[in-house]
Amino acid sequence: MKIAFIGGGNMGEAMLSAILDKGLSTPQDISVSDINGACCSLLEQKYGVAVTGSNQLAIVKGAIVVLAIKPQNLDEVMAELTGQLKSSQLVLSIIAGARINTLCRRLNHSRVVRVMPNTPAQIGEGMSVWTATAEVTEQQKGWVASILGAMGKEIYVDDEKYIDMATAVSGSGPAYIFLIVEALVNAAVHIGLPRDTAEELVLQTLLGSGHFIQRSGKPPAELRKMVTSPGGTTAEALLQLEKGGFSNLLKQAVSTAYNKAKRLGD
């Protein structure tokens, strides 16, 4: 599989690393271009891929062109690539907020996939939600599923509106989890636990609970009730969270993130 990366960054490198680790391509079949020369040099040394400062040169042999640039560089890159893509090439975009119709119009190209990955993809535990234009072939969809599957789990959706929703849930979701972990550790320290002990307790509780949900096959509400004895410590703690409007606050946060994601694409 011949792949050209336009831009790097953490997510671009995560995808590059996963592709090579899973044997989906070889360093000889991958080219990378980035305005950051230091980034290019690092990727060349670390992965043995071909690097260039020219986006037009990078895409020449790529069956897949990955757009891993920052949104603020979109105008410049679109101008460089317009009219340069072969009709058979697949464009895979992980650019935050860049809608498919915008990419198609400005690239004058119809085979486009838009992906919303998240940061755990950097360790192969990501969640990627993606969609594609009607012109993307079944073979190309298979390529995308393989690449995203190498970074964790992937879900295909048939309507782009779900990408903005996924942005608010799985895209921003790690930050919500990190905040909860941070707050829970601080709360544990507040009642007297040493910080290193608190961190280990919280992290293992988080990991174990997530795996328990996956393997039990039961809805979270049912599992929560299993842990909550009437009049017990858990019931008392949950009552405080309900008084503070925890569930509603989280709902508001997700809605706010979703509305922001929609505005980014306007």
pLDDT of residue 266: 67
Q: Do the Cβ atoms of 61 and 4 come closer than 8 Å?
A: yes
Q: Burial, 262: exposed, middle or buried (Cβ in 10 Å; 0-12, 13-18, 19+)? A: middle
For the chain (length 266 residues), average pLDDT per consecutive 10? 89 94 95 82 91 91 93 90 94 93 94 96 96 97 97 97 95 97 98 98 97 96 96 96 96 96 82
Q: How far apart are CA 117 and CA 129, in angstroms?
A: 6
> In sequence order, what DSSP letters do the residues of 185-221 get, joined into one string?
HHHHHHTT--HHHHHHHHHHHHHHHHHHHHHH---HH
pLDDT computed for residue 38 by the predictor: 79
Phi then psi for residue 124, to 5 deg, are: 75, 15
Q: Which domains does the chain have, with CATH numbers?
A: 3-159 (3.40.50.720), 173-264 (1.10.3730.10)
Contact present, 108 and 99 (Cβ < 8 Å): no
Give the bridge partners for 32, in sequence order: 5, 51
Helices (H), the chain: 9-21, 37-47, 55-58, 74-81, 100-107, 138-149, 161-166, 173-190, 195-216, 220-227, 233-243, 246-264
CA distance 6 to 12: 9
pLDDT of the residue at 8? 75
Task: Measure CA 210 to chain center.
Answer: 19
What is the phi/psi pair of residue 251, to 5°?
-60, -40
Residues 6+ apart with CB under 8 A from 7: 33, 34, 67, 68, 69, 70, 73, 77
60's tokens? 């020449």
> Is the separation of the CB atoms in 25 and 43 below 8 Å?
no
Q: Please count the other Cβ atoms lying within 10 Å of the Cβ belonging to residue 117.
A: 23
